[in-house]
Amino acid sequence: MTLARGTVARYAVGSVGTGGFGTLPGLVLVFYLTDTLGVAAGVAGLLVTAAKVWDVLVDPVIGAASDRERATTGRRRRLMVAGGVALPLFFLLTFAVPAGLAPAASALWVLGAFLLAATAFSLFQVPYIALPAEIAGTYDARTRLLTARVVVLSAAILLFGGGGPALRELGGDDERLGYLVMAAAAALVLGAAMLVSSTVERSAGALAAPTGDPAPGHHVLTHYRDGVALLRTSRPFRTLLAAFVLQALATGAMLAAAQYVATWVLRDTAAVTFLFVALVGPALVCTPLWGRVARRVGKERAFGLASAVFLVAALALVGLAWAPGAWVYVPVAAAGGAYSGMQALPMAMLPDVIAHDARTRGTGRAGTFGGVWTAGETTGMALGTTLLTAVLAATGYVASTDVQSVTQPASAVVGVVAGFSVVPALLVALSLVPLARYPLRRADIDDDGGGGDTVGGEKSDPTDTTGRAPTTTAQENP
């Protein structure tokens, strides 16, 4: 199945929305809470985590609803449109805390608005992740589709990560006004990108909907059982998700630490923009290169290589504790080039996992896969932020409001550096363990033999539509 350029473009533009929402709150929300609203670092981390725990609860339900919509209408568009319409409003409200509220009341305002924004985001993101397996039919077509997506994702991270703080500065001495201007501009771009991408099925068509029942039963517990069943029965999904979540923890911690590094280590709040240019600029160049590496050596090996490069670059940033300076942009740029591979490659591997599952089981569970994946990704990013705030709290970080001036103890500055370097490096090192157990290779995805698919050299039965695990498939091995 050949992908039209318009299809690739419409799908990729959705990553302006997903990248923007994933980047900007991760970069500035905790800093907004601790250094503008006066919320203690530990409490700020718990608030962001609470919103992402909600994602874990709601994403599998949205995934099952998306599968039902796909089975009955042949599309996943309605939920995507609902998310694109609702997200801008709730995103704006997150940064519209009225002046004069006490820190506790301000924290509750942010929590409520961000919970609603996260729900709207999931309405778009869960079906969006499920689409590649349905609009791209081969191993290489999915690599092309997801490579284009990550190029746009990298540009979105640069746009929101660099442009967001710059827009915030338009408020001058009024920090709250600056955050409101930033949120309003970002909200418009987020909503527009999501609505454009929601039309991709109409332009592309889709692979035939599966004949199995994608979501038997409507009780909420059924959706969670379906998600647990994916993890239990699909070794490819289990290992890929574990590696990706650990890396989301790493990038979440590094992302949240960037503003603190700019403010308290480099002593220049505007430096966060340059950090993002250094991080994301190389990604725009390197993402297509990782696609070429994947075609040559396989996605899983390229993913491991990108992770190793990121690990080494993150460790190099430890030197900030002793010698902060412009040299930091060199290892940050290396990490950025590697990060593009850490995003593009697992995203290209997920549709392979979904397609392989559909062929070997005969059931349509793409939305459920998308729900569990989104829950894992957002939880990893949030817990990365929580991990950073725990390090800050343990090292004595002092919270403040927009009308206060504080000096951080040396221990807190060391904590900021650790959250930006050591913590991400350790988490990426751990991610290499499950990645080494990922079993699918190109031959398992593009099998021309016509007699079923293979995993690790063993045949599986594509005619099994019972929902039970085929007994001879290596993906069932623990």
Residue 45 has pLDDT above 90, yes or no: no
- Nearest-5° Cα angle at 374, 302 to 127: 105
Helix, strand, coil percentages, rounded to 5, for the chain: 75, 0, 20
7-199+218-448 CATH pick, 1.20.1250.20, 3.30.1360.10, 1.10.10.10, 3.90.1150.10: 1.20.1250.20
Q: Is the pTM for the entire model greater than 0.75?
A: no
Residue 339 has pLDDT above 80, yes or no: yes
User: How many percent of the chain have pLDDT more than 90?
Assistant: 32
Confidence class of residue 455 from pLDDT cuts 50, 70 and 90?
very low
Written as one string, the DSSP assignment of 245-273 is: HHHHHHHHHHHHHHHHIIIIISS-TTHHH
User: How many percent of the chain have pLDDT more than 70?
Assistant: 85
Is 434 or 404 the better-scoring residue by pLDDT? 434
Residue 233 has pLDDT above 80, yes or no: no
Residue 478 has pLDDT above 60, yes or no: no
> 58: helix, coil or strand?
helix
pLDDT digits (tens, 9 = 90+) for 407-432: 888 899 999 999 999 999 999 999 99
Quote the pLDDT of residue 203: 56
Residue 449 has pLDDT above 50, yes or no: no
Quote the pLDDT of residue 25: 85
* Contact (CB, 8 A) for 56 and 231: no
Residue 180 has pLDDT above 90, yes or no: yes
When mean pLDDT is compared over 138-142, 312-316, 385-389, the highest value belongs to 312-316
Distance CA 30, CA 253 (A): 11
Q: Where are the domains of the chain?
A: 7-199+218-448
Confidence class of residue 306 from pLDDT cuts 50, 70 and 90?
very high
Quote the pLDDT of residue 436: 93
pLDDT digits (tens, 9 = 90+) for 159-176: 887 788 888 888 888 889
Question: How high is the mean pLDDT of the chain?
Answer: 81
Quote the pLDDT of residue 462: 36
Distance CA 229, CA 225 (A): 6
Q: Mean pLDDT over residues 87-103, rounded?
A: 93
pLDDT digits (tens, 9 = 90+) for 15-44: 999 888 988 887 788 889 988 898 988 888
Quote the pLDDT of residue 119: 93
Range from 17-31, 91-105, 355-369 carrying the lowest mean pLDDT: 355-369
Quote the pLDDT of residue 142: 75
Distance CA 399, CA 176 (A): 16
Residue 216 has pLDDT above 50, yes or no: no
Range from 79-83, 96-100, 197-201, 458-462 carrying the lowest mean pLDDT: 458-462
Q: Mean pLDDT over residues 31-59, rounded?
A: 83
Confidence class of residue 318 from pLDDT cuts 50, 70 and 90?
very high
Residue 452 has pLDDT above 50, yes or no: no
Quote the pLDDT of residue 364: 61
Distance CA 31, CA 44 (A): 9
Quote the pLDDT of residue 116: 94
* Token code pair at residue 134: 């349905």
Confidence class of residue 450 from pLDDT cuts 50, 70 and 90?
very low
Quote the pLDDT of residue 93: 96
Is 307 or 149 the better-scoring residue by pLDDT? 307
CA distances to 151, 230, 290, 353 from 237, rounded to whole Å, are 24, 7, 21, 6
Is 359 or 37 the better-scoring residue by pLDDT? 37
Residue 454 has pLDDT above 60, yes or no: no
DSSP 198: T
Written as one string, the DSSP assignment of 94-163 is: HT-PPTT--HHHHHHHHHHHHHHHHHHHHHHHHHHHHTHHHH--SHHHHHHHHHHHHHHHHHHHHHHHHH
